[in-house]
Chain A
Amino acid sequence: AQSVTQLDSHVSVSEGTPVLLRCNYSSSYSPSLFWYVQHPNKGLQLLLKYTSAATLVKGINGFEAEFKKSETSFHLTKPSAHMSDAAEYFCVVSDFSNTGKLIFGQGTTLQVKP
Protein backbone atom coordinates (compact mmCIF):
# COMPACT_ATOMS: atom_id res chain seq x y z
CA ALA A 1 0.00 0.00 0.00
CA GLN A 2 1.05 3.57 -0.58
CA SER A 3 1.93 5.78 2.36
CA VAL A 4 3.82 8.95 3.18
CA THR A 5 5.58 9.98 6.37
CA GLN A 6 6.41 13.58 7.13
CA LEU A 7 9.31 13.42 9.52
CA ASP A 8 8.69 16.71 11.32
CA SER A 9 5.38 17.96 12.63
CA HIS A 10 6.76 21.44 13.19
CA VAL A 11 9.69 23.32 11.63
CA SER A 12 10.82 26.78 12.66
CA VAL A 13 13.22 28.91 10.60
CA SER A 14 14.28 32.52 10.51
CA GLU A 15 13.32 34.71 7.60
CA GLY A 16 15.98 34.53 4.90
CA THR A 17 17.32 31.11 5.93
CA PRO A 18 16.79 27.84 4.03
CA VAL A 19 13.74 25.67 4.46
CA LEU A 20 13.79 21.86 4.52
CA LEU A 21 10.60 19.85 5.01
CA ARG A 22 11.18 16.13 4.97
CA CYS A 23 8.99 13.43 3.45
CA ASN A 24 9.49 9.71 2.95
CA TYR A 25 7.14 7.61 0.90
CA SER A 26 6.31 3.95 0.52
CA SER A 27 5.09 2.60 -2.78
CA SER A 28 5.14 -0.65 -4.68
CA TYR A 29 4.91 1.24 -7.92
CA SER A 30 6.52 4.29 -9.44
CA PRO A 31 4.64 6.95 -7.54
CA SER A 32 3.28 10.36 -8.35
CA LEU A 33 4.16 12.70 -5.50
CA PHE A 34 2.92 16.14 -4.55
CA TRP A 35 3.42 18.89 -2.05
CA TYR A 36 0.41 20.96 -1.06
CA VAL A 37 0.39 24.08 1.08
CA GLN A 38 -2.42 25.32 3.31
CA HIS A 39 -2.31 28.84 4.68
CA PRO A 40 -4.34 29.60 7.80
CA ASN A 41 -8.07 29.34 7.18
CA LYS A 42 -7.55 28.59 3.51
CA GLY A 43 -7.91 25.60 1.20
CA LEU A 44 -5.08 23.43 -0.05
CA GLN A 45 -2.99 24.65 -2.95
CA LEU A 46 -0.68 22.54 -5.10
CA LEU A 47 2.96 23.60 -4.72
CA LEU A 48 4.56 21.10 -7.05
CA LYS A 49 4.31 17.57 -8.39
CA TYR A 50 6.57 14.72 -9.48
CA THR A 51 5.36 12.47 -12.26
CA SER A 52 8.42 10.34 -13.23
CA ALA A 53 10.00 13.00 -15.40
CA ALA A 54 12.79 15.16 -13.99
CA THR A 55 13.71 14.18 -10.45
CA LEU A 56 14.20 17.80 -9.40
CA VAL A 57 10.84 19.50 -9.50
CA LYS A 58 10.33 23.24 -9.29
CA GLY A 59 7.14 24.67 -7.90
CA ILE A 60 5.58 27.96 -7.10
CA ASN A 61 7.00 30.60 -4.78
CA GLY A 62 10.58 29.35 -5.10
CA PHE A 63 10.00 25.89 -3.67
CA GLU A 64 11.48 22.76 -5.14
CA ALA A 65 11.63 19.08 -4.29
CA GLU A 66 13.90 16.24 -5.29
CA PHE A 67 12.69 12.71 -5.88
CA LYS A 68 15.24 10.19 -4.60
CA LYS A 69 14.18 6.66 -5.31
CA SER A 70 17.10 5.07 -3.46
CA GLU A 71 16.12 6.94 -0.30
CA THR A 72 12.35 6.87 -0.95
CA SER A 73 12.32 10.56 -0.18
CA PHE A 74 10.72 13.67 -1.61
CA HIS A 75 11.96 16.54 0.54
CA LEU A 76 10.75 20.09 -0.02
CA THR A 77 13.27 22.93 0.02
CA LYS A 78 13.50 26.66 -0.45
CA PRO A 79 16.74 28.64 -0.38
CA SER A 80 15.39 31.60 1.57
CA ALA A 81 12.26 31.64 3.72
CA HIS A 82 9.79 34.49 3.57
CA MET A 83 7.29 35.40 6.24
CA SER A 84 4.48 34.52 3.83
CA ASP A 85 5.73 30.91 3.70
CA ALA A 86 4.36 30.28 7.18
CA ALA A 87 1.73 27.58 6.60
CA GLU A 88 0.94 23.87 6.83
CA TYR A 89 2.62 21.68 4.21
CA PHE A 90 1.40 18.27 3.12
CA CYS A 91 3.36 15.60 1.30
CA VAL A 92 1.03 13.47 -0.82
CA VAL A 93 1.25 10.30 -2.91
CA SER A 94 -1.27 9.17 -5.48
CA ASP A 95 -2.97 5.84 -5.09
CA PHE A 96 -1.56 3.42 -7.64
CA SER A 97 -4.95 1.98 -8.48
CA ASN A 98 -5.70 4.70 -10.98
CA THR A 99 -8.59 6.12 -9.02
CA GLY A 100 -7.26 9.59 -8.53
CA LYS A 101 -7.30 9.03 -4.80
CA LEU A 102 -4.54 10.80 -2.86
CA ILE A 103 -2.87 9.73 0.35
CA PHE A 104 -1.86 12.64 2.59
CA GLY A 105 0.88 12.90 5.14
CA GLN A 106 0.10 14.31 8.57
CA GLY A 107 1.43 17.72 7.66
CA THR A 108 4.33 19.93 8.76
CA THR A 109 3.73 23.35 10.23
CA LEU A 110 6.32 25.84 9.04
CA GLN A 111 6.94 28.80 11.32
CA VAL A 112 9.00 31.69 9.97
CA LYS A 113 10.49 34.05 12.54
CA PRO A 114 11.43 37.62 11.69
Chain B
Amino acid sequence: DAGVIQSPRHEVTEMGQEVTLRCKPISGHDYLFWYRQTMMRGLELLIYFNNNVPIDDSGMPEDRFSAKMPNASFSTLKIQPSEPRDSAVYFCASNINGQGAYEQYFGPGTRLTVT
Protein backbone atom coordinates (compact mmCIF):
# COMPACT_ATOMS: atom_id res chain seq x y z
CA ASP B 1 0.00 0.00 0.00
CA ALA B 2 1.24 3.51 -0.79
CA GLY B 3 0.17 4.89 2.56
CA VAL B 4 -1.49 8.25 3.06
CA ILE B 5 -0.59 10.62 0.25
CA GLN B 6 -0.50 14.38 0.63
CA SER B 7 0.14 17.10 -1.90
CA PRO B 8 1.83 19.40 -2.27
CA ARG B 9 4.70 18.63 0.10
CA HIS B 10 5.66 22.28 0.28
CA GLU B 11 3.60 25.37 -0.44
CA VAL B 12 4.72 28.97 -0.32
CA THR B 13 2.10 31.62 -0.89
CA GLU B 14 1.44 35.27 -0.22
CA MET B 15 -0.98 36.56 2.36
CA GLY B 16 -4.50 36.75 1.03
CA GLN B 17 -4.13 33.95 -1.46
CA GLU B 18 -6.20 30.79 -1.42
CA VAL B 19 -4.42 27.58 -0.48
CA THR B 20 -5.68 24.05 -1.09
CA LEU B 21 -4.09 21.03 0.52
CA ARG B 22 -4.90 17.54 -0.68
CA CYS B 23 -5.00 14.13 0.90
CA LYS B 24 -5.59 10.59 -0.30
CA PRO B 25 -6.23 8.18 2.59
CA ILE B 26 -5.29 4.52 2.65
CA SER B 27 -7.77 2.52 0.62
CA GLY B 28 -10.50 1.03 2.79
CA HIS B 29 -10.01 3.41 5.69
CA ASP B 30 -13.24 5.08 6.77
CA TYR B 31 -11.84 7.81 9.02
CA LEU B 32 -9.81 10.78 7.85
CA PHE B 33 -8.19 13.40 10.08
CA TRP B 34 -6.59 16.76 9.41
CA TYR B 35 -3.97 18.07 11.86
CA ARG B 36 -1.87 21.17 12.09
CA GLN B 37 1.54 21.25 13.76
CA THR B 38 3.38 24.35 14.93
CA MET B 39 6.19 24.92 17.38
CA MET B 40 3.95 27.03 19.59
CA ARG B 41 0.82 24.88 19.70
CA GLY B 42 2.12 21.41 18.91
CA LEU B 43 -0.16 18.99 17.09
CA GLU B 44 -3.77 20.11 16.79
CA LEU B 45 -6.71 18.17 15.38
CA LEU B 46 -8.60 20.43 12.97
CA ILE B 47 -11.39 18.22 11.67
CA TYR B 48 -12.19 14.60 11.01
CA PHE B 49 -14.49 12.65 8.73
CA ASN B 50 -16.19 9.29 8.95
CA ASN B 51 -17.43 7.76 5.71
CA ASN B 52 -16.88 11.13 4.00
CA VAL B 53 -19.07 12.99 6.50
CA PRO B 54 -17.53 15.66 8.77
CA ILE B 55 -17.96 14.54 12.36
CA ASP B 56 -16.14 17.15 14.40
CA ASP B 57 -14.81 20.44 13.07
CA SER B 58 -14.41 22.13 16.44
CA GLY B 59 -10.67 22.39 15.88
CA MET B 60 -10.97 24.49 12.73
CA PRO B 61 -9.54 27.83 13.80
CA GLU B 62 -11.67 30.19 11.75
CA ASP B 63 -14.15 30.43 8.92
CA ARG B 64 -11.21 30.95 6.62
CA PHE B 65 -10.61 27.21 6.95
CA SER B 66 -12.82 24.65 5.24
CA ALA B 67 -12.50 20.96 4.51
CA LYS B 68 -14.30 18.59 2.20
CA MET B 69 -14.30 14.91 1.46
CA PRO B 70 -16.20 14.37 -1.80
CA ASN B 71 -15.41 10.66 -1.89
CA ALA B 72 -13.66 7.96 0.08
CA SER B 73 -10.33 8.50 -1.60
CA PHE B 74 -9.90 12.27 -1.53
CA SER B 75 -10.07 15.17 0.87
CA THR B 76 -9.11 18.84 0.71
CA LEU B 77 -8.31 21.46 3.29
CA LYS B 78 -8.71 24.99 2.02
CA ILE B 79 -7.60 28.27 3.54
CA GLN B 80 -9.07 31.41 2.06
CA PRO B 81 -7.68 34.00 2.52
CA SER B 82 -4.40 32.76 3.94
CA GLU B 83 -2.49 34.66 6.66
CA PRO B 84 1.11 34.40 7.91
CA ARG B 85 -0.08 32.80 11.15
CA ASP B 86 -1.40 29.86 9.11
CA SER B 87 2.18 28.84 8.41
CA ALA B 88 2.54 25.31 9.76
CA VAL B 89 2.86 21.69 8.77
CA TYR B 90 -0.50 20.16 7.93
CA PHE B 91 -0.89 16.40 8.32
CA CYS B 92 -3.56 14.09 7.07
CA ALA B 93 -4.15 10.72 8.73
CA SER B 94 -6.54 7.85 8.25
CA ASN B 95 -7.69 4.73 10.06
CA ILE B 96 -10.32 2.08 9.97
CA ASN B 97 -12.91 1.80 12.69
CA GLY B 98 -12.66 -1.16 14.97
CA GLN B 99 -9.30 -2.31 13.78
CA GLY B 100 -5.86 -1.79 15.25
CA ALA B 101 -7.21 -0.05 18.31
CA TYR B 102 -7.69 3.10 16.25
CA GLU B 103 -4.08 3.71 15.42
CA GLN B 104 -3.80 6.35 12.75
CA TYR B 105 -1.58 6.33 9.71
CA PHE B 106 -0.08 9.67 8.89
CA GLY B 107 0.92 11.21 5.62
CA PRO B 108 4.24 13.02 5.16
CA GLY B 109 2.64 16.42 5.67
CA THR B 110 2.43 19.68 3.74
CA ARG B 111 4.69 22.48 4.92
CA LEU B 112 2.83 25.74 4.34
CA THR B 113 4.57 29.08 4.41
CA VAL B 114 2.48 32.23 4.07
CA THR B 115 4.50 35.39 3.51
Contact = CB atoms under 8 A, between A and B. Distances in A.
Interface stretch (B64-72, B74-82, B106-114): B106-114
Interface of B: 31, 33, 42-43, 45, 48, 50, 55-56, 91, 93, 95, 97, 100-109, 111
Interface stretch (A18-26, A78-86, A102-110): A102-110
Contact of B109 (A43, A45, A104): A43
Given A99-B55, A104-B43, A49 B100 contact: yes
B111 to A, nearest CB: 8
Given A100-B97, A101-B48, A44 B102 contact: no
Nearest to B6: A43
Contacts of A104: 42-43
Contacts of B31: 99-100
B107 A43 contact: yes
B95 to A, nearest CB: 5
A45 B106 contact: yes
A27 interface: no
A94 interface: yes
Given A46-B103, A101-B102, 17 more contacts: A34-B101, A34-B103, A41-B111, A43-B91, A43-B108, A44-B91, A49-B101, A94-B102, A98-B97, A99-B48, A99-B50, A100-B48, A100-B95, A100-B102, A100-B104, A102-B102, A104-B42
Contact of A107 (B42, B101, B108): B42
A72 interface: no
Contact of A32 (B91, B102, B106, B109): B102
A12 interface: no
Interface centre among B56, B101, B109, by most A CB within 10 Å?
Answer: B101
Given A51-B101, A94-B101, A101 B45 contact: yes
